[in-house]
């Protein structure tokens, strides 16, 4: 498996040329400290010139640790917004791969328990760790405890739709142009209280006891928010509706989750903004997308092909 983490332009382009000529293709790229121009060149090289028009409906696994240095200098436009979507989409798809892998491990434990009516001490410890991670608490013991864990974890450990993650990040960060992204790598304005650590808010005087949580990179910010969605009691209604859709084998829908959050925000027209963002940019199609398993240099001009857009089409989720 080959991977690479790049920064400066000279190293960046030179390394890409070197690796593309090697016998082993890159499996993914992790980029740091890039500029918009550098990023566009890399995206074009690997056939990622549009967030919906991708070869075989598979998004190139190009992950940014931070937004480009000059991203906040871009004028507000669809071009900027679409670049934002291209940056965030691979992170959302990677995150969901990890979540669904964890779900698979949990279901394997349940399958073994149903067959043998017991778990090994190591397996029980793994189940307890998942319950703790996803905030599942009970005073029950023995068989009842284990059954409750599995029932609750099947609701909590599940896909957090890319369209949902992308639209909220867009609204919370003003499409990646806000201070919280540049100085804190925060996509969701997560807060911390009564601590000197964190980014001090600006222009907000209602409460001086909190700060904006600082993340080492964009992925950790998204991962933290997804865990909050999958564990916090305030998202319980949204998770219930997601589970209902999943068990009914309905098409994954970030819009459905957005509307389930109607009473969870005091912000005026917040749900309307999220719904409009998903609809206008057709983000619901990304709920059906997957990551490519490796990076391949773009040998053909794929841009603006309606045929490729059509390859990202709704389909029932795998059970």
pLDDT in tens, 87-135: 999 999 999 999 999 999 999 999 999 999 999 999 999 999 999 999 9
Q: Residue 207: what pLDDT? A: 64
Confidence of residue 8 (pLDDT cuts 50, 70, 90): very low
| Helix (H) or strand (E) segment spanning residue 193 | strand 191-193
Distance CA 175, CA 170 (A): 4
> Is residue 134 helix, strand or coil?
coil
Asked whether residue 138 is domain-assigned, the answer is yes
Unique residue bearing structure tokens 């798809």: 93
Asked whether residue 4 is domain-assigned, the answer is no
Asked whether residue 307 is domain-assigned, the answer is no
Domain tally, the chain = 1
> Is residue 108 helix, strand or coil?
helix
Mean pLDDT within 17-22:
39
Neighbours of 3 (CB within 10 A): 13
Asked whether residue 267 is domain-assigned, the answer is no
51-66 pLDDT, tens digit each: 998 877 899 999 999 9
* 12, pLDDT greater than 90: no
Q: Residue 263: what pLDDT? A: 65
Asked whether residue 257 is domain-assigned, the answer is no
Average pLDDT, the chain: 85
Q: Residue 20: what pLDDT? A: 38
The whole domain housing 129 covers 98-156
Distance CA 152, CA 147 (A): 9
Distance CA 159, CA 229 (A): 10
194-238 pLDDT, tens digit each: 888 889 888 765 567 889 999 999 999 999 999 999 999 989 999
Asked whether residue 3 is domain-assigned, the answer is no
* 37, pLDDT greater than 90: yes
Model-level pTM?
A: 0.85
Contact 164, 291 (CB under 8 A): no
* 1, pLDDT greater than 80: no
Q: Residue 197: what pLDDT? A: 87
* 319, pLDDT greater than 50: no
Mean pLDDT within 240-268:
83
Unique residue bearing structure tokens 């027209």: 269
Asked whether residue 203 is domain-assigned, the answer is no
**Of the candidates 169, 201, 202, 200, the residue with the CA atom closest to the CA atom of residue 186:** 169
- Indicate the pairing of strand 3-6 with strand 191-193: unpaired
> Is residue 107 helix, strand or coil?
helix
200: CB partners within 8 A, 6+ apart: 211, 212
Q: Residue 19: what pLDDT? A: 39
138-181 pLDDT, tens digit each: 999 999 999 999 999 999 999 999 999 999 999 999 999 999 99
Asked whether residue 102 is domain-assigned, the answer is yes
* 40, pLDDT greater than 50: yes
């Amino acid at each position: 498996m080959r991977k690479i983490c790049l920064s400066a332009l000279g190293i960046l382009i030179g390394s890409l040329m070197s690796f593309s000529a090697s016998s082993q293709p890159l499996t993914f790229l992790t980029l740091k400290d890039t500029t918009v121009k550098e990023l566009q060149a890399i995206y074009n090289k690997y056939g990622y010139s549009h967030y919906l028009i991708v070869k075989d409906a598979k998004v190139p696994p190009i992950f940014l640790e931070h937004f480009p240095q000059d991203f906040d200098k871009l004028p507000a436009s669809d071009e900027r917004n679409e670049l934002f979507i291209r940056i965030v989409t691979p992170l959302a798809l990677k995150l969901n791969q990890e979540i669904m892998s964890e779900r698979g491990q949990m279901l394997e434990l349940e399958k073994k328990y149903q067959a043998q009516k017991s778990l090994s001490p190591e397996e029980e410890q793994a189940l307890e760790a998942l319950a703790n991670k996803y905030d599942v608490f009970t005073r029950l013991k023995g068989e009842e405890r284990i059954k409750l864990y599995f029932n609750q974890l099947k609701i909590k450990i599940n896909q957090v739709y890319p369209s949902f993650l992308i639209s909220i990040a867009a609204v919370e960060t003003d499409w990646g142009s806000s201070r919280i992204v540049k100085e804190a790598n925060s996509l969701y304005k997560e807060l911390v209280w009564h601590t000197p650590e964190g980014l001090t808010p600006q222009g907000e005087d209602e409460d001086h006891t909190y700060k904006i949580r600082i993340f080492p990179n964009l992925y950790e910010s998204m991962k933290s928010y997804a865990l909050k969605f999958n564990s916090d009691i305030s998202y319980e209604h949204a998770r219930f509706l997601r589970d209902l859709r999943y068990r009914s084998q309905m098409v994954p829908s970030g819009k459905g989750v957005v509307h389930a959050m109607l009473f969870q925000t005091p912000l005026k027209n917040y749900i309307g903004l999220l719904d409009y963002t998903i609809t206008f940019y057709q983000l619901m199609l990304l709920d059906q997308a997957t990551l490519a398993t490796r990076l391949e240099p773009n040998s053909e001009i794929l841009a603006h092909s309606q045929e490729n857009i059509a390859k990202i089409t709704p389909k029932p989720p795998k059970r």
